[in-house]
């Protein structure tokens, strides 16, 4: 059974690029009689916008892109309420915090992640020193060297911590992308990514892997900007002994000057085109035929 997902972050409106990613997933599910899942990735509280999830849901429905599992809206007492359907829920990440925390601890026990007690100040100082030395700003792994005893003491003192991924010091990781082909990354260039923040919220990297696994996603079809994140994700899959899904990273929609299509340079909100009177079919046709033609 093919299972794919569209996983937007509720930071405002549906972006044309998001619509294109969603369409490819939807078409792939339809073609293979699979399931299409909508998941809301709202763990970055600073970027979360009130009402954005409702807005995303409404725009997707206006575009005719429906889903088998995930949040949906009902109209009750004069306003919209979010409900969810499907047996792998909740499909809203902020409602899954306990799940992420449990797996973050499991990664520590397996030796694939570690506690980091560095303060904002420590990190800022580290970054400045690295810039002065013309080094790429990366976590210098000082907490990776803490002994079991030192960790225990800090935990007992309730010093705030994050959990970081332990990226191997050397070597390469390779994987196959259905669009890009073989892709290879050098561990040297990969930072010890934060997986769980000090407020108990996961970062994108931890949440996406756990959810794609638990929601039984078979094919991850998303924008190319996520390709450099795959090595980090693979380390998590491998550590937890989970089956690795297929990856397909779609090229991005660009402005005529080849910069990434963004709201500073163009109108990128799908709802804005709908408001201007473009028919959903016309917008879908436009997005479907970008980059190729029959």
- Interface residues with ligand GLU (CB under 6 A) are 7-9, 41, 208, 222, 226
Q: Are 63 and 56 in contact (CB under 8 A)?
A: no
CB of 144 to ligand GLU, least distance (A): 26
Is residue 216 helix, strand or coil?
coil
> Two tokens at 165?
């991924």
* Nearest residue (CB) to ligand GLU, 108 versus 190: 190
> Two tokens at 25?
């997933």
Q: Alpha-carbon distance 178 to 100, whole Å?
A: 28
Could you say which of 105, 110, 263, 265 is catalytic? 263
Q: Around Cβ 107, how many Cβ atoms within 10 Å?
A: 22
* Nearest residue (CB) to ligand GLU, 6 versus 273: 6
Is residue 163 helix, strand or coil?
strand
Q: Alpha-carbon distance 144 to 161, whole Å?
A: 13
> Two tokens at 273?
């085109």
Q: Are 41 and 208 in contact (CB under 8 A)?
A: yes
Helix pair 97-109, 204-214: axis angle to 10 deg: 100
Is 263 catalytic? The answer is yes
CB of 219 to ligand GLU, least distance (A): 11
* Nearest residue (CB) to ligand GLU, 42 versus 115: 42
SS3 helix, strand, coil % of the chain, rounded to 5?
Answer: 40, 20, 40
* Nearest residue (CB) to ligand GLU, 116 versus 248: 248
Q: Alpha-carbon distance 35 to 6, whole Å?
A: 11
Tell the residue number behind the tokens 């059974």, with chain if given. Answer: 1
* Nearest residue (CB) to ligand GLU, 43 versus 239: 43
CB of 200 to ligand GLU, least distance (A): 19
CB of 168 to ligand GLU, least distance (A): 23
Provide the pairing of β-strand 70-76 with 79-85: antiparallel
Active-site residues, by number, are 263
């Amino acid at each position: 059974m093919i299972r794919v997902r569209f996983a937007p972050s509720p930071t405002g409106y549906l972006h044309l690029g998001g619509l294109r990613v969603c369409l490819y997933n939807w078409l792939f599910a339809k073609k293979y009689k699979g399931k299409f899942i909508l998941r809301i990735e709202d763990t970055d509280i600073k970027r979360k916008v009130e009402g954005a999830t409702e807005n995303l849901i409404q725009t997707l429905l206006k575009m005719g892109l429906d889903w088998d599992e995930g949040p949906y809206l009902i109209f009750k007492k004069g306003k919209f309420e979010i409900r969810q359907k499907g047996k792998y829920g909740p499909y809203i990440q902020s409602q899954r915090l306990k799940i992420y925390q449990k797996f973050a601890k499991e990664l520590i026990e397996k030796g694939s992640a570690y506690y980091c007690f560095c303060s904002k100040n420590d990190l800022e100082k580290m970054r400045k020193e690295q810039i002065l030395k013309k080094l790429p700003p990366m976590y210098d792994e000082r907490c990776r060297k803490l002994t079991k005893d030192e960790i225990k003491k800090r935990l007992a003192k309730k010093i705030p911590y994050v959990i970081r991924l332990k990226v191997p010091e050397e070597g390469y990781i390779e994987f196959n992308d259905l669009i890009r082909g073989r892709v290879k990354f050098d561990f040297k260039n990969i930072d010890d990514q934060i997986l769980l923040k000090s407020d108990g919220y996961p970062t994108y990297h931890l949440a996406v892997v756990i959810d794609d696994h638990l929601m039984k996603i078979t094919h991850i079809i998303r924008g190319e900007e996520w390709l450099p994140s795959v090595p980090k994700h693979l380390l998590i899959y491998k550590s937890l002994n989970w089956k690795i899904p297929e990856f397909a990273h779609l090229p991005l929609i660009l402005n005529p000057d080849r910069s990434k299509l963004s709201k500073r340079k163009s109108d990128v909100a799908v709802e804005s085109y709908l408001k201007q009177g473009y028919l959903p079919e016309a917008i879908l046709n436009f997005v479907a035929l970008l980059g190729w033609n029959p």
